[in-house]
Amino acid sequence: MIAVRITLATFVFALTALWLAAGTGTPTAGQTLQPMITQYTGTMALALMSLAMVLATRPKWLERPLNGLDRMYRLHRWLGITGLGFLLVHWWVSSGEQLRRRRAWAEEPAEGLHSWLQKQEGIAEAVGEWSFYAIVTLLILALVRWFPYHLFQKSHRLLAVAYVFIVYHSLVLMRFDYWSQPIGWVTAALMLAGLIATIIVLTGRIGHSRKVKGTVESLAFYSRLQVLEGTVNLEDGWPGHNPGQFAFIKDEKREGAHPYTIASDWVPEEHRLTFFVKELGDHTREMPAVLKEGMPVTVEGPYGCFDFEDSHSRQIWVAGGIGITPFVARMKYLAHIPGEHRRIDLFLCTEEYDQEAADKLMADANAAAVQLHLYHTPKDGLLTGDRIRATVLRWREASIWFCGPPGFGQSLKRDLVAHGLRKRDFHQELFKMR
């Protein structure tokens, strides 16, 4: 989360500094602060929405700087929330009396392009107002957890349409002399990037170059765990993946792709990927009934930087429920790598227990020389930092890799850091994409 917060704060402060450097001035007699606040909040809202649009296309080149697509989506979410905040202030300040009468610079005579833009103000204000209502509605729906995922995917794409109208609104009503200054140049670049991203979103070309066709080869359902295990046979084109990464899968019967962590090592000769899917919502609950062996699917990826790569001689893995998936992939990888001498302890906390699944997990752990500690929480209680420290005596020499419920991970991190763990040695997968 630190990278997300720093990136968001840096972006906001940098744009604010450029806006202040544009020489907004102070209101003179008879004027108010409203024109300045309107211009500032409008510029910031546009910039934040533009960057959010770019991140919506899942740009691969930004993954490593932002430490994974999971954090890119977290940043995308907070850009939307922050942009919504600026939009609300912008709407509140600019409502009521005609905006044109509150802008000193709009009363100045204009020629050429400036004059044409002034003539568009009435249309631009109306377009901006209705786009504002649409964006607020769509963003609220995106933030409401009970809103069905398949409807969220469809409605969220409408934000791209609303963004185009916001760009038009901003082009017309943004202070004209900004365009000859750095704030205008940066805003123009963000607009252009956002419009390109809009085309990619609306034409369905997100991740187009990273998509590979495949066929569902086998399915197994663990009813006690409510987990579906599926294997997909891929056609040529998959670049390979590292354990801990994930991919988007789309079947032919439903719109939209959904992300799943890959639960298998990549063997080029076999062209297979395995996924574990936990029934957690409307989309995943339907999958056992919808997916059939032999069904064609599209796989997009790989994504993610939860790759287990560090310089520590020991690692501690902590999985909560379906969070075991990246660790299964890593164990299958380690089983094929002779001479791996790193000491690894894997803690799995699960509310449900299935003997068949437990036997498979134990076999993977033995093959990878990983020490497995299984906590069936109804019987064994919750896993705590005290239990980890009591089990792994040299835990301070280890890095921690966590995948599971976010609250559990944050609680565990606070406990371990309070006892001497360095924050940078705690790695947490933020797998919520909404």
Find the domain containing 394 and state its range: 314-428
Domain boundary among 154, 171, 202: 202
Place of tokens 């890593």: 330
Q: Do 129 and 259 share a structural domain?
A: no
Give the domain CATH number at 405: 3.40.50.80
- Radius of gyration over alpha carbons of the chain, in Å? 25
Q: Do 49 and 165 share a structural domain?
A: yes
Q: Do 255 and 221 share a structural domain?
A: yes
List 318's β-bridge partners, or say none: 347, 402
Residue 308 lies in a domain: no
Give the domain CATH number at 254: 2.40.30.10
The tens place of each residue's pLDDT in the chain, 434 residues long, gives 567 889 999 999 999 999 999 876 555 555 567 778 889 999 999 999 999 999 999 998 998 888 889 889 999 999 999 999 999 998 888 765 444 444 444 445 555 666 666 667 778 778 888 888 888 898 888 877 777 777 777 888 899 999 999 999 988 888 888 999 999 999 999 999 999 999 999 998 999 999 999 999 999 888 888 888 899 999 999 999 999 999 999 886 665 678 888 999 998 888 899 998 876 665 666 666 677 899 999 999 999 999 898 889 899 999 998 899 999 999 999 998 866 678 999 999 998 888 888 999 999 999 999 999 999 999 988 899 999 999 999 999 999 999 999 899 999 999 999 999 999 999 998 766 55
Predicted confidence at residue 287, as pLDDT, reads 67
Q: Do 158 and 278 share a structural domain?
A: no
Residue 373 backbone phi and psi in degrees, to 5: -125, 105
CA atoms within 13 A on the CB side of 383: 26
Predicted confidence at residue 41, as pLDDT, reads 93
Q: Do 153 and 31 share a structural domain?
A: yes
Predicted confidence at residue 269, as pLDDT, reads 87
Predicted confidence at residue 114, as pLDDT, reads 64
Q: Do 323 and 299 share a structural domain?
A: no
The total number of structural domains in the chain stands at 3
Q: Do 163 and 30 share a structural domain?
A: yes
Quick check: 367 and 391 in contact, CB under 8 A?
no
What is each CA distance from 123 to 77, 126, 364, in whole angstroms? 30, 5, 64
Domain boundary among 303, 334, 351: 303
* Interhelix angle 121-143/112-119, nearest 10 degrees: 60
Q: Do 288 and 421 share a structural domain?
A: no
Residue 434 lies in a domain: no
Residue 230 lies in a domain: yes
Residue 193 lies in a domain: yes
Question: Distance between CA 56 and CA 73 in Å, rounded?
Answer: 8
Q: Do 167 and 22 share a structural domain?
A: yes
Alpha helices in 337-398 (DSSP H): 355-367, 377-380, 385-391
List 272's β-bridge partners, or say none: 233
Q: Do 178 and 133 share a structural domain?
A: yes
Predicted confidence at residue 124, as pLDDT, reads 75
Token pair recorded at residue 260: 């799943």
Residue 253 lies in a domain: yes
Residue 48 lies in a domain: yes
Residue 263 lies in a domain: yes
Q: Do 294 and 175 share a structural domain?
A: no
Token pair recorded at residue 69: 């697509």
Q: Which of 2, 82, 92, 85 is nearest to 48 (CA)?
A: 82
Alpha helices in 57-120 (DSSP H): 63-66, 69-94, 112-119
Give the domain CATH number at 188: 1.20.120
Domain boundary among 303, 326, 353: 303
Q: Do 173 and 35 share a structural domain?
A: yes
Residue 392 lies in a domain: yes
* 181-190, Cβ contacts within 8 angstroms, sequence gap of 24 or more: 181/18, 181/21, 181/22, 181/23, 182/18, 182/21, 182/22, 183/15, 183/18, 183/19, 183/21, 183/22, 183/43, 184/22, 186/15, 186/18, 186/47, 187/43, 187/46, 187/47, 190/46, 190/47, 190/50, 190/51
